[in-house]
Amino acid sequence: MATSIEIFKEAVKTSIKDKVAEGSILNSDIAARFYDAADLILSVAAEGGVGLEGAATPSTNPGAPEGKRMWITSTPGTYTNFSGVEVNNGELVFLIDNGTAYTKLVVPVDPVPVTTVQVAGVGKNKLDSSAFVEGNVNSSGTLDAVLPLTGWQRTARVPVVAGTTYTFSAVGFTASSSKYVVFYTASNVYISRVTITTAPPFSFTVPATATNIVINLKEPANAAPTNVQLEIGNAATAYEAYIPPVNAADTIKTNPLAASYLIDSPGNRAFITAMLNNNVTTQNVYSKNILDEENIKVGLVSSSGVILTTAGWLRSDKTPITAGSVYTFSALNYVPSTAKVLAYYTASDVYITRTSVATAPPFTFTPPAGAAYFILNLKEPTDATTPSQMQVENENVATSYVPHRKTVISQILGYDLLSSNSSSAPTTQIQALVNLYPQIYGKLQNFRKRYAGPLNATADDRVKIIMEGDSIFAREMHTTIGPVAPASYPPTFVTNNFGANLFRSLLSLERPVYSRWDKAGTFTETGTWSIETTGWDDAGTRPNDTRLSTTSAAALSFAVAAAYNRFNFVDRTDLAASTSIAIAVTGGAGKVEVKLPGATVWVEANGALLSQLEVAGTRRSNSVYARRVEFRKVGATIGTSVTITLTKPADSTKFLYWGLELISGAKPYIQLVNIARGGNTLAQLTNYIQNDLIERKPNLVLFEIPLLNMVAASQLPSYSVNWVQDFLYGDRAGNTNTWNLKTASNNWVDFEVLCVLPHFARSYFNSDGSMITQSSGYTMAEIWSAVKSFLYEKGDIPFVDMSAAFVREAESGYLGNYYNAFAGSGVNGNTLSSDGVHLNDRGTAVYAKHLCPIFDLNSI
């Protein structure tokens, strides 16, 4: 039987063919764009349980309204059985069953006026011929040293990429001499100029350190040249007009255009974002309450699982649940202690069993093994009161009621605001508009529930996200310094790397304030302190931001301002560290409590001893970076400042720290901890998995699979797939293990995982953009695909494939192909990479565009 999506696709295809035939759709590309947009809209609708019943005609009889159904049609006429809805000639409509009547939703397949915002030029032509001026560049690189030289034309400075070949072409310029290409550095220091002695088209290669050029031409004796073009490559191609970029200082203007559609999902090619002022969509945002109280019906589930329409009973729809989890039912106006039944079904809708509940709400229940759905049955109260505020939640106690869903009206926006559209487009313009992967939340339900920040949550309900991976996540050196002073950012996030982008976007919970060891006026050190650069097992793979002292009785003091009632001391463990660093609180006991590492209870801080000693063992790191030691103010100290002093014994052991993580203490907060290690494969990361990851007790692991390093070890797909299976699942035949993440997470209950497949390196491609077949006989794309196929087969870990995203980004007109787009251009260059592998500011902005909106609960 065809799925709702398949039925819908066929109906849309038929309608689009009709539209193209009659000429009311301008071209097939627009039709394809609408098709993908509508497909996405329906996917969201299907996620909320709306059933597509198929195509309708004026004679179709749907019966009485039941709710959560819809039909599609383009046949004009009066739909008598659909509340008399009229479908006009040329319309494509959804017929919606809202539970009480049928309504019509017109789908805009014909061109409609919209407002567009141009955000950057994406054309292949890099040369603005309108910017030619009369003038010359002399042999020392000076522009118009004396006067503009009559008879010559020169361009403004044009951004280029060192080591890249460009071709100049023009119509009406046939001279074989009198042409110069002049090269400059990023600070406009003259490098050299070359004389071109052939007629256009001609090619040249940009020398090292050059970032912009000026082209000089002797004016033709007859007429000005036309179709002037500068493009990447060693051959001239068909002329395209220059598209101006948006610069940081520009004012973005809007212009009305026609025939722009909702989402350009097929190729991510567009350079506009279209705001459809008169086309909106409704979206359901679901809460902790999994019971759809709006669809309670009359009926009873029999002892054999058959649903009966039995008067005097109420029943819910089938509701998804997780076997073995504890749920709580609560309600107002329902007090009977008997006459409550829970019926359970498998994922394939096979009845399992039913149980009776003999206690008044609220009550808890645990679905049996194999259960994927349940139906709640209630005997109607005899006093004619109707139960209200009915709630089923994945908790072992009842919490405050929230509706099952709330409906929001939001404009559909295009998401093709490409970070790579122009070398002049500022990264501040590169912001994702929507969550491109809304279905991911369905596999991160436990994290989503905590991250949403329930109203009764406190600072003890902190949410911890662990970033795991290799240098793609770990490094700061490939991006520019961020907008906030480095001493005020979390560890490893002081530049515009992806982690910093993610930290800035985590808005659901309180974000801590940070004070690194060098924050002015914060820390007072006693003894000799330094920044250690060697001696740890991961030297060189992480920034060296940790302070170290081996001085006898070295001490550290810091004051915590009145605004912060919770604070975490950020330190680092080591095999040679102290086991007894004394904690002293100015003013004595009764002011501050501490939860020492590994403990589950708070104790008096004054006089407590802190250990930084790391114990060697299997799958344990020699040093745990950026560990948090939790403190909280108590009693009269709350709302006042307090001073803490830490003193190590009079010995030569190590005392290490990074700084402070400061929280108001009034509400839940977010922790983003980066444990990624540059240069590591999964074979290496498993050596640290116990104390560096599992013992940190995360809520979510954002796992960048280190494929860039793994394919350097082996270019066989089975190698990467096997290690991914071992690390995540530990169930590979003959290689089972107990340290895998699924086991450690209690089958994804204690924490969940979101995988990221990284981008490709430039070295995987030929200069023409084709992918190299490795000596193993496989391309890198085939290895990536093998890992994706494995994750698809497992089905319980969501992932985002950034390699596919970057291929579309590179081929969307930016630099022509992946090889060119990933040429190393430094931290703020106009390609996507600083060195051909690691991401610069523009590259990390692409990661941010795809990944950061996943954490925006308003975009699902």
Per-residue pLDDT band for 382 (boundaries 50, 70, 90) equals low
Would the pLDDT of 131 be above 70?
A: no
Lowest mean pLDDT among 46-50, 457-461, 841-845: 46-50
Residues 845 and 720 in one domain: yes
> Which of 457-471, 581-595, 759-773 reaches the highest mean pLDDT?
581-595
Residue 418 lies in a domain: no
Coil vs helix vs strand at 720 = helix
CATH of the domain at 533: 2.60.120.260
Q: Which of 632, 666, 700 is the last residue of a domain?
A: 666
Let me know: does 630 contact 595? Beta carbons within 8 Å. yes
- Select from 420, 568, 461 the least CA-distant residue to 121: 420
Residue 276 lies in a domain: no
Per-residue pLDDT band for 379 (boundaries 50, 70, 90) equals confident
Per-residue model confidence as pLDDT tens digits over 695-708: 999 999 999 999 99
Q: What sign does the CA torsion over 434, 436, 438, 443 have? A: negative
Per-residue pLDDT band for 149 (boundaries 50, 70, 90) equals low
Distance CA 770, CA 269 (A): 19
Residues 484 and 590 in one domain: no
- Residues of the chain above pLDDT 70, percent: 75
- Give the total number of structural domains in the chain: 5
Domain, as residue range, for 58 = 4-110
**Contacts of residue 601, Cβ cutoff 8 Å, sequence gap at least 6:** 595
CATH of the domain at 154: 2.60.40
Mean pLDDT of 91-112: 70
pLDDT at 745: 95
Residues 708 and 852 in one domain: yes
Let me know: does 468 contact 756? Beta carbons within 8 Å. no
Per-residue pLDDT band for 570 (boundaries 50, 70, 90) equals very high
pLDDT at 267: 27
Residue 120 lies in a domain: no
Amino acid in the structure at residue 415: Y
Let me know: does 820 contact 232? Beta carbons within 8 Å. yes
Would the pLDDT of 252 be above 50?
A: no
pLDDT at 812: 65
- Residues of the chain above pLDDT 90, percent: 36
Mean pLDDT of 1-6: 46
Residues 155 and 139 in one domain: yes
Residue 447 lies in a domain: yes
Return the residue matching tokens 């403190």: 631
Residues 835 and 724 in one domain: yes
Per-residue model confidence as pLDDT tens digits over 351-368: 999 888 888 888 899 999
Let me know: does 552 contact 545? Beta carbons within 8 Å. no
Mean pLDDT of 800-820: 80
Q: Which of 204, 232, 260 is the last residue of a domain?
A: 232
Residues 556 and 613 in one domain: yes
Distance CA 332, CA 395 (A): 18
Lowest mean pLDDT among 217-231, 398-412, 439-453: 398-412
Amino acid in the structure at residue 159: P
> pTM of the prediction?
0.55
Let me know: does 662 contact 514? Beta carbons within 8 Å. yes
Distance CA 832, CA 849 (A): 14
Residues 776 and 683 in one domain: yes
pLDDT at 38: 55
pLDDT at 385: 62
Residue 733 lies in a domain: yes
Residues 178 and 101 in one domain: no
Per-residue model confidence as pLDDT tens digits over 284-342: 445 678 887 767 777 777 777 787 777 778 888 888 888 888 899 988 877 766 678 89
Residue 714 lies in a domain: yes
Lowest mean pLDDT among 240-249, 416-425, 557-566, 677-686: 416-425
CATH of the domain at 758: 3.40.50.1110
Would the pLDDT of 228 be above 60?
A: yes
Residue 312: how many other CB atoms lie within 10 Å: 10
Residues 648 and 685 in one domain: no
What is the distance of C-alpha 137 from the center of its chain? Answer: 47
Would the pLDDT of 394 be above 70?
A: yes
Q: Which of 615, 636, 666 is the last residue of a domain?
A: 666
Residue 523 lies in a domain: yes
Residues 462 and 494 in one domain: yes
Per-residue model confidence as pLDDT tens digits over 615-661: 888 999 888 989 999 999 999 999 999 999 999 999 999 999 999 99
Per-residue pLDDT band for 279 (boundaries 50, 70, 90) equals very low
Would the pLDDT of 608 be above 80?
A: yes
pLDDT at 120: 35
Count of residues making up the chain: 860
Return the residue matching tokens 């759809």: 292
Residues 757 and 843 in one domain: yes
Distance CA 490, CA 513 (A): 8
Residue 284 lies in a domain: no
pLDDT, the chain, mean? 78
Q: Which residues pair with 374 in a beta bridge?
A: 319, 344
pLDDT at 813: 53
Lowest mean pLDDT among 22-36, 172-186, 515-529, 822-836: 22-36
Residues 534 and 662 in one domain: yes
Per-residue pLDDT band for 561 (boundaries 50, 70, 90) equals very high
pLDDT at 9: 57
